[in-house]
């Protein structure tokens, strides 16, 4: 009998061929911030995944934190992404766009008019090689730089963030995506609002948990009214401490609150990212089950996923889809390899970011 992991799945009316998702991964191969033919070929090679979630896609110039990442705020970018969705659909795949705003994880050189990045508050990102933006350096080369200390968004500016995501959702559907994923994880803008240490606001977006979660829920509600809740996923990262995000005592309670609230909205899924490989406490299975019960809908889990763990958690019903990130880089035929239990190729970290087809399109299929 075929394991549940490899059986079809109904994702809010979208039929997936299996329960394996390709997690979003920044590859920084798009000069001018426009998806291109290389991007289309990369995703088409991996279209046997039940669901592809695109690399993080900024919804505005202000939302960028890394050069050569394809955005989705202009007509040219919509046309570029249309190449990608056409290629994935021609290969019988499904793809959601991950919509992104990095918040304080940016650099003045990437910001409109060289301004400060924006965040919930003014707390800067601690200087560390793991906490950098990817920029053009003064000599014209590409490299890493400490994020520029942020300024706090004014209360009047916050609805503009919602509007940028609303436009991004419209553009994603126009580009042929099957849906969108709101990136509210991994130390970026929405998590900066949720975390009570980075968010020291005194307005309706700060203080109580309800207020700190307001931006996430307002954005989801606005997009759902425009494109339909069934086309929306949300990515969250309980326990995450990446990019200098401080730990706080009510972390799990915050995410269970979000589970209940998001569960009322009829979304396509919630995508949890476990950052234990980056030094954060692992998401325990007891919490996974509590989250699944509180949310009540489709749950995807990513972060150090293995074949054995994916098989077990999906079979048990603890999660509905298992997401793999880095294994998809070196194994475009990952689904087949997992099904046949074929050893996986190891990706070359030196080619993760930037460059052309090397380390992007040239990984062979299993024999």
Query: Given the structure tokens 């990262």, which residue do they identify?
Result: 237
Contact criterion met (CB below 8 Å) for 145 and 135: yes
Q: Given the residues 43, 188, 269, 353, select the one marked as catalytic.
A: 188
Q: Name the percent of the chain in helix, strand, coil, to the closest 5.
A: 40, 15, 45
* DSSP assignment letter at 239: T
Residue 221: count of CB within 10 angstroms of its CB: 14
Known catalytic residue: 66?
A: no
Give the chain's length: 367
How many angstroms separate the most distant Cα atoms in the chain? 60
Both tokens assigned to 300: 């995807």
The C-alpha atoms of residue 15 and residue 51 are separated, in whole angstroms, by 10
**Cβ burial, residue 349 (10 Å; 0-12/13-18/19+):** exposed
- Asked if residue 207 lies in contact with residue 296, where contact means CB atoms within 8 angstroms, the answer is no
CB neighbourhood size of 191 (10 A): 25
What are the residues facing 301 on neighbouring strands? 272, 322
If we measure between CA atoms, which residue out of 213, 235, 226, 221 comes closest to residue 264? 221
Both tokens of residue 161?
């963030």
Using alpha carbons, select from 81, 11, 7, 9 the residue that is nearest to residue 270.
11
Catalytic residue numbers read 188
């Amino acid at each position: 009998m075929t394991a549940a992991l490899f059986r079809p799945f109904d994702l809010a009316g979208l039929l997936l061929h299996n329960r394996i998702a390709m997690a979003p991964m920044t590859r920084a191969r798009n000069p001018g911030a426009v998806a291109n033919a290389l991007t289309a070929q990369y995703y088409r090679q991996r279209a046997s995944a039940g669901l592809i979630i695109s690399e993080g896609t900024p919804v505005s110039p202000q939302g960028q934190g890394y050069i050569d990442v394809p955005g989705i705020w202009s007509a040219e970018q919509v046309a570029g992404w249309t190449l990608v969705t056409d290629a994935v659909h021609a290969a019988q795949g499904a793809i959601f766009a991950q919509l992104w705003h990095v918040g304080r994880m940016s650099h003045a050189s990437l910001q409109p008019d060289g301004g400060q990045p924006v965040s919930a508050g003014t707390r800067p990102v601690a200087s560390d090689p793991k906490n950098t933006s990817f920029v053009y350096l003064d000599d014209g080369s590409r490299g890493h730089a400490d994020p520029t200390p942020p300024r706090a968004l004014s209360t009047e500016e916050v609805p503009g963030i919602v509007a940028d995501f609303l436009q991004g959702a419209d553009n994603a559907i126009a580009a042929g995506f099957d849906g969108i994923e709101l990136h509210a994880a991994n130390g970026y803008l929405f998590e900066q609002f949720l975390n009570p240490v980075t968010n020291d606001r005194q307005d309706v977006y700060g203080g109580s948990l309800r207020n700190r979660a307001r931006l996430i829920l307002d954005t989801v509600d606005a997009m759902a009214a425009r494109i339909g809740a069934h086309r929306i996923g949300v990515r969250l990262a309980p326990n995450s401490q990446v990019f200098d995000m401080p730990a706080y005592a009510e972390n799990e309670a915050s995410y269970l609150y979000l589970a209940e609230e998001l569960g009322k909205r009829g979304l396509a899924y919630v995508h949890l990212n476990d950052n234990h490989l980056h030094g954060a406490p692992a998401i325990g299975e007891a919490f996974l089950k509590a989250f699944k019960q509180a949310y009540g809908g489709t749950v995807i889990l990513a972060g150090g996923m293995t074949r054995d763990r994916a098989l077990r958690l999906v079979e048990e019903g603890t999660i509905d889809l298992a997401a793999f990130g880095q294994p998809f880089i070196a194994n475009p035929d990952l689904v087949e390899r997992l099904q046949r239990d074929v050893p996986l190729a190891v990706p070359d970290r030196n080619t993760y970011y930037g460059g052309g087809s090397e380390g992007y399109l040239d990984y062979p299929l299993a024999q």
